[in-house]
Chains A and B, each alone.
Chain A
């Protein structure tokens, strides 16, 4: 009986103030979408790191005119250094093949490059990619070595971009979140004002505080949950339309964002949104409805 009363009050309250309710839900949805995107990126950085951890190589490029003895010497030293898991030699011809594969689509570029320009190299799978700097320090000045590069440094740029995007989404989420919470506070104030008569009577006849406050808090929670569902739908749509759609090529560079991690966002976003809305509503009520 009481639950029924509370629920009917919740919907009545939201309906009476419909424009504010809609504004509240939209701002919440935007904020939560950004938060969700931020969380996905955060997760993505981890996934990429893990993905490349085993695949990252240090490449030792050799001088062009190097002879076989020196090459063997360097190979032995690399194998004996203790850092390498596996050392693989790549001749100039093999380098050219790889180059052709990579730039398959730009034939002009391929035809303009002579096979002899590309250096031979050792591709080294590290036991621990963290030791790459030590290996680079040991070998970059060695005779016969042209250059030593760590693939991780190139990847670092990707991480920087992802990190920047992540910060941006979180800032937008925060700003929108603050706006959403202010709207919640305002909505609750309006609702409390429009129902001040009922509230006064309830308090007079000794209704417990939770009963007086429940309709208002639930109003906020309800709006929060709806906002979270909208945010979730937006993220799903983004996955299909943006990541798997228009910008497929761009995103194919990195491991795909799995459906699972997006699905996981539904309970997370709903939970965060419901709890924060409820707390905001409750605090607002503390100032508006004195016991």
Chain B
């Protein structure tokens, strides 16, 4: 109930241009409020935006004039988009449903190819990437989704090991690395549980572990807290923040205004396939 209520609240809030922060808090319940101080300590010191400093770090994502239309369907399109994201940045993508946020994720994963423009991730020119090289490219990206996407017939450890297995890492590597990563995400001792034996938050931790186990350059998170209650959402955000501090760039699509407002990281707001706001240490709006 909390989950659904929170989600609905955010959606309706977003639809109205009025800031509804004060109205939103009571609706999500007291637990969330009591968590805030602790959560705030996590986000006290967001890193300065490196792009504005002289010793500018390496760009991880470059979108230059990227345009993508779907002429035969009403899937959201992207219009002449320019985005530059540095290594280690934590960026929120916000915007109404159908604004084109997921299309950007698809473009970055090379599930789609832009009509126009150039996408570079790390050293890879994604727009020119050969089809057969796509799998190797995707290994440099970790993904977390709202619906966890775990294999139901495999334990937590096996789910994480699967990511290593399918790219041909020897079993000895999995035996060494998987417990480490599960420990890191706070699932030590639950390695042998199946997804249905884990809570939503724990399942998402497994998904984060799987995304992170290859130490990706970039971690894409598509509404990772969308199915979680506020407390659990905060735990997942804390985890993502820790990962971000290891130098992994994180790009997170979200509708959760509380998280955005408290993390105070870079916010890119999209509407109708265009960037309407790009703000360092931004708020939800």
| A interface with B by C-beta (< 8 Å) | 1-2, 5, 197-198, 200-209, 211, 290-291
Would A206 and B137 count as touching, CB distance under 8 A?
yes
CB B112 to nearest CB in A, in angstroms, measures 10
Q: Kindly report which residue of chain B lies nearest to residue A198, judged by CB atoms.
A: B151
Q: Kindly report which residue of chain B lies nearest to residue A200, judged by CB atoms.
A: B149
Interface string of B237-273 (1 = CB under 8 A from A): 0000000000000000000000000000000000000
**A207 interface neighbour in B109, B132, B166, B171, Cβ under 8 Å:** B166
Q: Kindly report which residue of chain B lies nearest to residue A211, judged by CB atoms.
A: B166
Number of A-B contacts (CB under 8 A): 52
Q: For A200, what are the chain B residues with a Cβ–Cβ distance below 8 Å?
A: 149
Q: For B137, what are the chain A residues with a Cβ–Cβ distance below 8 Å?
A: 206
- 28 pairs, A vs B, C-beta closer than 8 Å: A1-B171, A2-B166, A2-B168, A197-B149, A200-B149, A201-B149, A201-B162, A204-B109, A204-B138, A204-B143, A204-B149, A205-B139, A205-B163, A205-B167, A205-B214, A206-B136, A206-B137, A206-B139, A206-B167, A207-B135, A207-B166, A207-B167, A208-B135, A208-B136, A208-B167, A209-B135, A291-B134, A291-B135
Q: Kindly report which residue of chain A lies nearest to residue B152, judged by CB atoms.
A: A197
Interface string of B118-147 (1 = CB under 8 A from A): 000000000000011011111101010000
| Complex alpha-carbon distance, A1 and B143, angstroms | 25
**A209 interface neighbour in B109, B132, B170, Cβ under 8 Å:** B132
Q: For B166, what are the chain A residues with a Cβ–Cβ distance below 8 Å?
A: 2, 202, 205-207, 211
Verify if B165 is at the interface (C-beta below 8 Å from A).
Answer: yes
Which of A2, A197, A206, A211: most chain B Cβ within 10 A? A206
| Complex alpha-carbon distance, A71 and B170, angstroms | 92
Q: Kindly report which residue of chain B lies nearest to residue A205, judged by CB atoms.
A: B163
Verify if B205 is at the interface (C-beta below 8 Å from A).
Answer: no
Given contacts A1-B171, A201-B162, A211-B166, contact A206 B135 (CB under 8 A): yes
| Complex alpha-carbon distance, A5 and B167, angstroms | 13
Verify if B87 is at the interface (C-beta below 8 Å from A).
Answer: no
CB B65 to nearest CB in A, in angstroms, measures 25
Q: Kindly report which residue of chain B lies nearest to residue A12, judged by CB atoms.
A: B153
Given contacts A1-B171, A2-B168, A291-B134, contact A205 B149 (CB under 8 A): no
| Complex alpha-carbon distance, A190 and B70, angstroms | 28
Would A203 and B149 count as touching, CB distance under 8 A?
no
Would B165 and A1 count as touching, CB distance under 8 A?
yes
Verify if B210 is at the interface (C-beta below 8 Å from A).
Answer: yes
| Complex alpha-carbon distance, A1 and B162, angstroms | 11
Q: Kindly report which residue of chain A lies nearest to residue B132, judged by CB atoms.
A: A209
| Complex alpha-carbon distance, A200 and B132, angstroms | 16
| Complex alpha-carbon distance, A202 and B149, angstroms | 11
| Complex alpha-carbon distance, A172 and B89, angstroms | 65
Q: Kindly report which residue of chain B lies nearest to residue A207, judged by CB atoms.
A: B166
| Complex alpha-carbon distance, A2 and B168, angstroms | 7
| Complex alpha-carbon distance, A206 and B163, angstroms | 8
CB A216 to nearest CB in B, in angstroms, measures 15
Would B151 and A197 count as touching, CB distance under 8 A?
yes
| Complex alpha-carbon distance, A203 and B141, angstroms | 11
> Which 10 residue pairs are nearest across A and B when measured between Cβ atoms?
A207-B166, A206-B139, A206-B138, A205-B163, A206-B135, A208-B135, A204-B143, A202-B166, A1-B171, A291-B134
CB B119 to nearest CB in A, in angstroms, measures 16
Given A5-B165, A205-B210, 5 additional A-B pairs, CB 8 A:
A201-B151, A203-B135, A203-B138, A205-B167, A206-B136
| Complex alpha-carbon distance, A291 and B134, angstroms | 8
CB B211 to nearest CB in A, in angstroms, measures 8
Q: For B109, what are the chain A residues with a Cβ–Cβ distance below 8 Å?
A: 204
Q: For B210, what are the chain A residues with a Cβ–Cβ distance below 8 Å?
A: 205
